[in-house]
Structure 1
């Protein structure tokens, strides 16, 4: 019979302050005010900053409220004197669509509360951060990373499949609190081996799929940088900047722990340059483990692979290629449109209930909104195969019908 020696594991205590179901009346009021401001923007009643957020690619930042041609929303437009009538780069309706795509299967409040907590309950700061994220997602076409197949992404971004085959980054398993484990293996990465845009897209691909693998009630992930055999030729400052920017600006309150495992001597000189780039809150999430015994205090052995980590799970990463007809659902236009209409109806119901809830004087939650959010999650599980291409996680049976099912092949370590 297999044994599971987890005697050294220390389960952390996760604060529930400011999370859904644990809000004070004052925090609930701030959430209401956020929604009220957001609806004013969605409805076109309030103007907002049209600046495109910067990215690690060095994308130029335009002046606030810049106006461009509608046909050129995702690029620089000609001056008004040359191009005729101009319109805002983003409209409230654009942001509303981006918001609901970002929400996916989550309770809408969960998404928003992450931004509010990240900005210490300062409403204006949280709103600015949230709007920047929506604009960034539109400009960077984040949705395509789960809507397109791996083969389609490879055609668009050269050597994308190569990143998947090498196992530079992937998710496998979860800690006892349900937080998915993301493994990053820099030893397989050499900056010049693929276009920087491919590295960029592959990183965001893992971020987006990580969100789809969060079980209900779990809001963040654990990242493990396995620095075994790491050398200076594996260093990529573009990736570092992107990683930092994502967790600080675009995926707030998503990083639970970042484990830097088996860092060699050469890494510590680089860390002196990396640490000042980090927001103090994000920096506090970093922990360093010199060996597997120390890692086992953070993640129990039965959740870690035998290979590299001296775990008990007899599992080795292997990319599973696309299966024939795996995306047939996406070709069923009639069913897809039916499910999209159903989704939009639920979104509209949630909006109506939220607008009514905002006007209530009591600082309490709304059972009606929670019930609609529950229906949104259930409906999303049915909709997803029609709008999202199959991933390696669906092929492995991890993400099926809205359920997250990690399996572990536990071996006796005696």
Structure 2
């Protein structure tokens, strides 16, 4: 079986087309695993040229030399022009084999009927040349030299004297090729995508440049394609290493109106493709392509409610991303993964390279929040995935860090927030994986011995629809705010909370 190399988020749906029948034929259901972790821990390679292994340095130098030569010869524009000219050509008509055989026989018969001309004897020609040469006198020789000199003087200037053509100017993702250190980072992406095979990386680079010109990427960046897909694909925060995080919530297409508006007609599908490419282009241009910068993205793919027919409509988009955006993914995190997808992944696992598999992380619904917290801080994880980040937030920002505590099974857990001066105390909290078996209450306990405890929130059950518990209390004296959580289940729970003091109102 031929080896299939996969590099981006597009890869799983593309390979899925090839083995979908095998999955459908599975006889017995497979129980849902909690989580399938990455094969090995993945560490991004350095983009600092001085830190590269010698073989990789050599490959980069060879690729730069090929690019330099291609720019001088304008090969990037030439390849695009050749591709356009080839597309314009009409299809070649091939005659039937019997017609070709008949024509060949007629040509053979015709050739046999025509007598071949008799060649003149060579000796006569040689004799004439010798005679003519011997008859040339000294004055004739001088005349011939004069004529030759005149001819030489009238020759056009040599090619070296012509005005040199400047090298071709080619930019990709806003960075000129061979401009500075950022160009090295770009070229290293192509080399890694082709396992440092220089010629293959160079061929891929030329293909990507030609596609970008044909797709007219620069004009695409200025188009107004609307924001209807804003809930499907969006950037939100960064991971713990500073990579921007892109969320792909394909389950949004479970909404029939949005699905029809996006994929019901050919023109709408083309518009979606242009929007997806535009979104990625704008996101990439915000990356830092310096050798020590962040030039990759973390992809979070939410598979909850993802409609099966969607794969067909997105296949073209996935293929474009795979072919024209090499090595832009730092980690692929699949969340809310159904059991059949994990079983399917085990079947197609041999098709992936070890490098690609090292970037994959899978988590079922019960482990989604916990898995995201391994890579993204809770304050930056959207509330719908168990974090504390939500739109329209005013009291807290991403700089306000979150504290995590564990609530033991069938136990009460108290969190004390110290109040050292008169102020307004603001807090928020949430219990991860809570269900409806957690109770919450809050009270203010003053420092003074003769003070009275104030019940801020009576103990109540936290409903499943309450994503974040918010509280606010004006403290007129020093003391402490006590948040009490009672875990009534037989499993431990995790509580996230943060608080801040603001000036008294």
Provide the TM-score with structure 2 as the length reference.
Answer: 0.47
SS of structure 2 residue aligned to 1:296: helix
Following superposition of structure 1 onto structure 2, how do residues 81-120 of structure 1 map, counting pairs within 5 Å? 96-99=169-172, 101-103=174-176, 107-120=182-195
Q: Is the 8 Å Cα contact of residues 72 and 167 (structure 2) preserved in structure 1?
A: no
Secondary structure class of the residue paired with 1:252: coil
Q: What is the CA–CA distance in structure 2 between the aligned matches of 1:284 and 1:19, rounded to whole Å?
A: 22
Q: Contact conserved, 1:41 with 1:47, CA < 8 A, in 2?
A: yes
Q: Is the 8 A contact 2:381 2:388 kept in 1?
A: yes
- 2:258 maps to 1:185: no
The change in CA–CA distance for 1:16 and 1:272 in structure 2 (over 3 A counts) is: closer
C-alpha distance in structure 2 between counterparts of 1:275 and 1:93, whole Å:
49
- Aligned-residue offset at 1:135: 0.9
Tell me what 1:153 maps to. Answer: 224
Could you tell me which residue of structure 1 aligns to residue 106 of structure 2? none
- Contact residue 95 and residue 135 of structure 1 kept, 8 A: no
Q: CA deviation at 1:276?
A: 7.9
Partner of 1:373: none
Distance 1:79 1:96, change over 3 A: farther
1:289 aligns with: 363
Match of 1:366 in 2: none
Q: In 2, Cα distance between the equivalents of 1:106 and 1:205?
A: 25
Q: Which one has the bigger strand percentage?
A: 2
Match of 1:77 among 82, 85, 88: 88
- Secondary structure at 1:313's aligned position in 2? coil
> 1:134 Cα deviation (Å)?
0.7
Report whether the alignment pairs 1:220 with 2:286: no
Q: Does 1:197 align with 2:270?
A: yes
Assess, with a 3 A threshold, how the Cα gap between structure 1 residues 209 and 45 changes in structure 2: closer, same or farther: closer
Whole-Å separation in 2 of the counterparts to 1:31 and 1:196: 39
Distance (Å, rounded) in 1 between the aligned partners of 2:392 and 2:319: 28
Tell me how far apart the structure 2 counterparts of residues 93 and 266 of structure 1 sit (CA, whole Å). 57
Equivalent in 299, 309, 315 of residue 391 of structure 2: 315
The 1:47/1:174 distance shift into structure 2, 3 A limit, reads closer
State TM-score, norm by structure 1. Answer: 0.56
**Which has the larger Rg?**
2
Residue equivalent to 2:65: 36
Matched, 1:298 2:375: yes
The CA distance in 2 between the partners of 1:138 and 1:47, in whole Å, is 10
Distance 1:269 1:15, change over 3 A: closer
Deviation at 1:243, TM superposition (A): 2.6
Instruction: Quote the residue 2:123 is aligned against.
Output: none
**Distance in 1 between residues matched to 2:370 and 2:239, nearest whole Å:** 16
Equivalent pairs, count: 274
Following superposition, the deviation at residue 244 of structure 1 comes to 5.1
Distance 1:240 1:282, change over 3 A: farther
User: Which has the larger share of helix?
Assistant: 1
Match for residue 463 of structure 2? Answer: none
Give structure 2 stretches of 5+ with no counterpart: 1-37, 93-164, 263-267, 402-427, 430-495, 498-505
1:130 maps onto 2:205 in alignment: yes
- Match of 1:206, SS state, is helix
- For the structure 1 residues 21 and 170, does the alpha-carbon distance in structure 2 shift closer, same or farther, using more than 3 Å as the test? farther
SS at match of 1:302: helix
State the shift of 1:137 in Å: 0.9
1:388 paired residue number: none
Q: Does 1:163 align with 2:229?
A: yes
Gaps of at least 5 residues in structure 1 are: 1-9, 53-64, 69-74, 82-91, 155-159, 318-405
